[in-house]
Amino acid sequence: MTNQNKVLAHVSKYAVTYLFIALSTLFIVVSGLDINYVASQLLLRLNRNAFIVLALIIPIIAGMGINFAITIGAMAAQIGLLLTINWGVSGVPGILLAAAITLPLGAFFGFLIGKLLNKMKGQETIGSLILGYFANGAYQLLFLFIFGTIIPLNSNVTIVGASGVQNTLNLTGQVGLYTAVDGIAHIPFLTALYIFAAVLAALAVVQYLRKTISVKRLAVSLGLAAALAVVFSLPPIAAVFNGSHGRVIRLPLVTWMLILLLCLFNSTIMRTRLGQKFRAVGQSQTVANASGINVDRTRVIAIMISTVLAGWGQIMFMQSDGIGTFQTYAAHEQVGLYAGAAILVGGASIDRATNLQALVGTFLFHSLFITAQSAASVMFGDSAVGEYFRAFLSYGVIAVALIMYAWRSAQQRKAGQLNLAEETK
């Protein structure tokens, strides 16, 4: 393949990503929003959403497409949070309790989802979407008619004079779940960045010394680390973060450690036997089956992991800075849509996804999210257009990704048939 062809292939593969880079740059400029404000909002949303988006990776690799049923994981988390609030456990113990409740619930729901999706192979994306809608009905049944009547709850979470849980639950104040994880420790963004660059460089050196990577890779890694450190030290860029213009931007330390831990989990599990199974099933169920892998069981495990992780992601989202309330009947509704759109924006497709794609995608998707309204009111004199544009982007990105995937597999099928025809001749 020539160099030019390589570039073309790369651009066509990441077309959506580049489009989003262009659009978000345009929007940031047009909206006239303060860059310090944009940066702080963006980081805030990144640490809020990254966890859930990362939860999508394993099912994608296992060939089950975008698991829109992560909304069900979010519902499990919300059951956990409700019980935690009900029992009055606050702070880090509260979050741990909610996570502990989410684990068995999410695993159980994931098991059921996996079983059902095994009955609709090839239609997992739409199946999980509709399953999410269906579960929303069951969730409402639970929260409106079963909680507070059959399962007794305290009066501080139920509607007075009617059955069911309140529309909005407060997480701040006495409840004490607001920023329970985010608030443990903060470090300035630039410090975090330098540490990150240093760790990157150190890891590369260690790997080189243990001879697992080549000199070329070492040079690239060291160069990247140095470039990161230098670029963010440049006065105009550093000024955005270090407080000389606006406020000092800080990162919630523990939240980011958890996000990085999840990235590590995602990449480590791929090196285990289970991870190999995921990959094998994702590439071809027939081949995997022939080589003795229990395909259905592997798929169920992938969905179970994804559901539990999504549930924990929802807890991270709920406790995060700037949320503060828990919309009992709506908080889970858009989870699947936004997470799915975000990972696709990062360059993932229906059958391939990496940690980096998830993080980049979340970053790009939310940069548009923050700026769309202001940009639209500048461009069209109406901020509502921005709101609709956001919705259009979310759905549109998913539609385009699905179309490109279907297109590619149709072409592969055609090519395969041609090859077969030629061989038989």
Using the minimum distance from each CB to other proteins, give the nearer residue, 140 or 267.
140
Among 11, 223, 227, 395, binds other proteins (CB under 8 A): 395
Instruction: Report yes or no: 167 and 327 within 8 Å, Cβ to Cβ.
Output: yes
Asked if 164 is part of the footprint of other proteins (rule: CB under 8 A), the reply reads: yes
- Contact characters 126-155, other proteins, x per CB under 8 A: xx-xxx-xx-xxx-xx--xx----------
For residues 307-326, which are near other proteins according to CB under 8 A? 322
Phi, psi of 151 (to 5 degrees): -100, 110
Nearer to other proteins (CB atom), residue 8 or residue 382? 382
Under rule CB under 8 A, residue 29 binds other proteins: no
What binding mask, one character per residue, do residues 344-373 give for other proteins by CB under 8 A, x or -? -----------------------------x
Burial label for 412, CB within 10 Å (0-12, 13-18, 19+), is exposed
Contacts 24+ apart (CB under 8 A), 399-403: 400/16, 401/16, 401/344, 401/349, 401/350, 402/125, 402/350
With CB under 8 A as the contact rule, which of the stretches 33-41, 186-194, 225-233, 415-423 interacts with other proteins? 33-41
Cα-flanking dihedrals φ and ψ of residue 358, to 5°? -60, -45
Nearest to 41 by CA among 239, 254, 247: 247
Q: Which x/- pattern, by CB under 8 A, does the window 397-416 give for other proteins?
A: -xx--xx-xxx--x------
CB of 255 to other proteins, least distance (A): 19
Quote the least distance from Cβ 29 to other proteins, whole Å: 14
Between 70 and 201, CB nearer to other proteins: 70
Locus of tokens 């179309």: 403
CA distance 257 to 318: 17
Backbone phi and psi for residue 178, each to the nearest 5 degrees, phi listed first: -65, 125
Is residue 173 within the footprint of other proteins (CB under 8 A)?
Answer: no
Q: How many CB atoms lie within 10 A of CB 404?
A: 17
Question: Coil, strand, or helix at residue 286?
Answer: helix
Closest to other proteins by CB, 96 vs 321, is 321
**Given the complex with other proteins, which of 131 and 157 has the nearer CB atom?**
131
Distance of CA 363 to the CA centre of its chain: 10
Interhelix angle 253-269/355-379, nearest 10 degrees: 130
How many other C-beta atoms are found inside a 10 Å radius of the C-beta of residue 152? 9
Q: Which residues bind other proteins (CB under 8 A)?
A: 31-34, 37, 41, 116, 119-123, 125-127, 129-131, 133-134, 136-138, 140-141, 144-145, 162-164, 247, 322, 373-374, 377, 380-385, 388-389, 391-392, 394-396, 398-399, 402-403, 405-407, 410
